[in-house]
Amino acid sequence: MTRKPVLLDWIALIALALVWGASFIFIKRSVKVFEPAQMAMWRMVLAMLVYMPIAAAYWSKIDWKRWRPLVVVAFCGSAIPNYFFAIAQQHVNSSLAGVLNSLTPLFTLVLGVAFFQMKATWYKALGVSLGLVGAAVLILHNGSGVNGESSFWFAALCVLATVCYAVNANVVGRYLRDLPPAAIASAAFMITGWLFVIGLFATGGWGRIWEPGGMLGLGYVFYLAAIGTVAGSIGYFWLMQRTSPLFATSVTYLLPISAILIGIFDGEQVQLWDYLGTGIILTGLYLAQK
């Protein structure tokens, strides 16, 4: 049974937006050190190491017979989007990547209605649509690539990443809702972790950390793994179980706001269009929860 979000749920939603909003800055910095595949493998391996004691604590509560949806969590909830964003952020700026993440609730709703028996009201549809309009305003205002070049195809990779997140949200909401949040993520990484260890060596990621700048880059990836992936995922699953997949994925509506705030602290200029897009997104978020 889903329920309406309360104050604690909204606080958790905002905290997730700040944590994941900062992640785009760390992705941008880490891909200046590592190749995208190396960064993605390091992020998954470090996350697996952090998850190990958590998995040990929850071992008896994990239903290992549900390994198929757990594999989906590992790949669609982390590995594939991590790789797509790593490639994309060599060519698009962090704020645009954060904005494009706001497409996740749309795909969650569309896939949920099409394949997971989710019920859609006109309020939800209108709210998601308004959120996308707000995202479009910000995309058009901040739509150039890192070097001012066209970045359409790389932005498209960010969109594909949100489709993966939507699949993950629906799978967790449908098949894993009764498991403890920490158990879901840790079990997923225990099942698939060996693949990422192999990938780390196959991509040359292990050797790269011993080269100049490698340890600094590893520090960036550690934030992404320990805070963005582990702490963020546990909080995300916890929020999804307390409320609904649509509410939990609405954190991505707040990521553009988080990106703007981080930009202000970093000395970036915020203009009227940024505030307009943010206001539209917040309106859409409110309607989508009615």
Largest CA distance in the chain: 55
Residue 40 has what pLDDT?
92
For residue 142, the model assigns a pLDDT of 58
Q: Identify the band that residue 268 occupies on the pLDDT scale cut at 50, 70 and 90.
A: low
Task: Give the confidence band of 99 by pLDDT, cuts at 50, 70, 90.
Answer: confident
pLDDT of residue 266: 64
Looking at per-residue pLDDT, the higher value among 196 and 24 belongs to 196
Kindly report the backbone phi and psi dihedral angles of residue 180, in degrees, each rounded to the nearest multiple of 5, phi listed first: -60, 140
Residue 150: per-residue pLDDT: 53
Judge whether residue 202 has pLDDT over 90: yes
For the stretch 108-147, pLDDT in tens is 887 887 777 767 677 777 887 887 787 777 667 655 444 5
Torsion, CA 103, CA 109, CA 112, CA 115, rounded to 10: -80
- % of the chain residues with pLDDT over 90: 23
- Please state the rounded mean pLDDT for residues 237-254: 77
Across the chain, mean pLDDT equals: 82
Instruction: Provide the token pair at 167.
Output: 């699949």
Could you tell me the pLDDT band of residue 176, with boundaries at 50, 70 and 90? confident
Region 59-88: mean pLDDT is: 90
Q: How many CB atoms lie within 10 A of CB 58?
A: 19
Cα dihedral 141, 289, 251, 54, rounded to 10, equals -170
The stretch 144-159 carries a mean pLDDT of 66
Highest mean pLDDT, choosing among 35-44, 97-106, 227-236: 35-44
Q: How far apart are CA 225 and CA 43, in angstroms?
A: 5
CA-based torsion, 69, 110, 150, 144: positive or negative: negative
37 falls in which pLDDT band (50, 70, 90)? Answer: very high
Tell me what pLDDT residue 143 has.
52
C-alpha 67/C-alpha 132 separation (Å) is 34
* Residue 76 predicted with pLDDT over 80: yes
User: pLDDT category, 278, cuts 50, 70, 90?
Assistant: confident
Show the tokens assigned to 265.
């602290």
User: Which tokens sit at 16?
Assistant: 């997730």
Of 164-168, 171-175, 252-256, which has the strongest mean pLDDT? 164-168
Asked whether the predicted pLDDT for residue 269 surpasses 80, the reply is no
